[in-house]
């Protein structure tokens, strides 16, 4: 019996929690070897919600995301005039120039059918792999001895120290874990992930996972709430208060929460979720600094030949999020 339609978002959201839990248990038992259900949870954010299962697989958490047919992309002219005028003032340009700027950086309006899938909740670093502290390559690095001494002597309980494109030390209490950097090309990264039975989302899938089909500039609306706490623009003085975008979204994902972080996709626009922090490093305000986390933002500079992103896609600013499609009948 084909029960795949039940896993479309409209039908899914009409199920009772007991019905949804039963189907998710069936899904894990019959289609997802190696996965276990940790708990069932409803995620609510930005006026959208999903009841789903949080699953574990080899130490990482995943969630079930129902499919849907949605409109993706954004026409700058549907963004409220007040928002576009504010951006124009921040860029010292006129409205026409601002509209052109946005048009060049927002994906076009289109309809896409998204299959249900299993999605990794947090992004994964690229390029670094754990090694012993006596690893020969690590010891041979000119910076290792000095860095190790500094990290060991530090009073910090938790500290990550990275020597770019070389090695990283992560301190948790008295324990220090070392990581070495190994570059990889874009095709090699896709092949590595495919070989493990996963894939990376397409641009359509990523925009859906980020915004759920919302029709606003940012995943949460068309303006920035400066009373909330964002990375690099922390509001208030409560260090215990979580960053608003680090709280899982309506699908249970932590996604597009930091403009410094690119996410790799399997589409022509192969980097989403940020701009590597370029706007913020250039002194941009929060409105412009966080524009790259828009569900529909496209960074035109990823195709710069000198940057050679596809030649070496791994590094400190690129991350991956693995998915499994659920195309066929259960």
pLDDT per position as a tens digit, 286-320: 999 999 999 999 999 999 999 999 999 999 999 99
Q: 3-class DSSP state for residue 95?
A: helix
pLDDT in tens, 133-145: 999 999 999 999 9
Burial class of residue 37 (count of CB atoms within 10 Å of its CB; 0-12, 13-18, 19+): middle
Q: State the pLDDT at residue 240.
A: 78
Q: State the pLDDT at residue 227.
A: 83
Q: State the pLDDT at residue 214.
A: 93
Return the ∠ at Cα 84 (arms to 79 and 73), rounded to 5°: 35
Q: State the pLDDT at residue 233.
A: 87
Average pLDDT over residues 242-267: 97
Average pLDDT over residues 120-137: 96
Q: What's the sign of the alpha-carbon dihedral 220, 13, 51, 62?
A: negative
Task: Report the chain's mean pLDDT, rounded to a whole number.
Answer: 93
Reading the block at residue 237, the tokens are: 């003085």
Q: State the pLDDT at residue 238.
A: 65
Q: Grade residue 1 by pLDDT with cuts at 50, 70 and 90.
A: very low
- Say what percent of the chain tops pLDDT 90: 88
- Say what percent of the chain tops pLDDT 70: 97
Q: State the pLDDT at residue 329.
A: 39
Tell me which residue has tokens 């029960």: 3
pLDDT above 80: residue 21: yes
Distances (CA, A) of 209 to 108, 115, 125, 321: 17, 11, 19, 11
Average pLDDT over residues 84-97: 90
Tell me which residue has tokens 């998710």: 24
């Amino acid at each position: 019996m084909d029960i795949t339609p039940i896993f479309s978002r409209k039908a899914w959201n009409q199920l009772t929690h007991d019905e949804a839990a039963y189907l998710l248990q069936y899904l894990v038992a019959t289609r997802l070897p190696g996965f276990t259900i940790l708990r069932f949870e409803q995620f609510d954010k930005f006026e959208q919600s999903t009841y789903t299962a949080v699953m574990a697989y080899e130490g990482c958490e995943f969630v079930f995301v129902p499919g849907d047919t949605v409109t993706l992309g954004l026409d700058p002219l549907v963004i409220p005039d007040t928002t576009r005028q504010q951006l124009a003032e921040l860029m010292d340009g006129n409205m026409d120039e601002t509209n052109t700027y946005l048009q060049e950086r927002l994906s076009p309006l289109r309809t896409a059918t998204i299959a249900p899938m299993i999605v990794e909740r947090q992004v994964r670093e690229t390029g670094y792999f754990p090694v012993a502290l006596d690893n020969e390559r690590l010891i041979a690095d000119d910076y290792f001895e000095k860095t190790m001494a500094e990290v060991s002597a530090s009073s910090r309980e938790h500290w990550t120290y990275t020597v770019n494109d070389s090695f990283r030390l992560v301190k948790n209490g008295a324990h220090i874990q070392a990581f070495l950097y190994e570059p990889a090309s874009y095709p090699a990264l896709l092949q590595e992930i495919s070989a493990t039975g996963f894939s990376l989302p397409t641009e359509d899938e990523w925009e859906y996972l980020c915004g759920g089909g919302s029709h606003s500039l940012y995943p949460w609306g068309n303006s920035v709430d400066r009373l909330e706490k964002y990375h690099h623009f922390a509001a208030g003085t409560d260090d215990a208060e979580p960053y608003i975008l680090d709280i899982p979204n309506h699908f249970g994902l932590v996604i597009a929460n930091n403009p410094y972080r690119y996410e790799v996709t399997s589409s022509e626009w192969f980097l989403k979720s940020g701009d590597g922090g370029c706007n913020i490093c250039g002194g941009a305000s929060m409105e412009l600094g966080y524009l790259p986390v828009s569900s529909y933002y496209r960074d035109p500079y990823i195709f710069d030949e000198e940057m050679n992103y596809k030649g070496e896609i791994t590094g400190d600013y690129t991350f991956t999020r693995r998915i499994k499609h659920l195309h066929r009948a259960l």
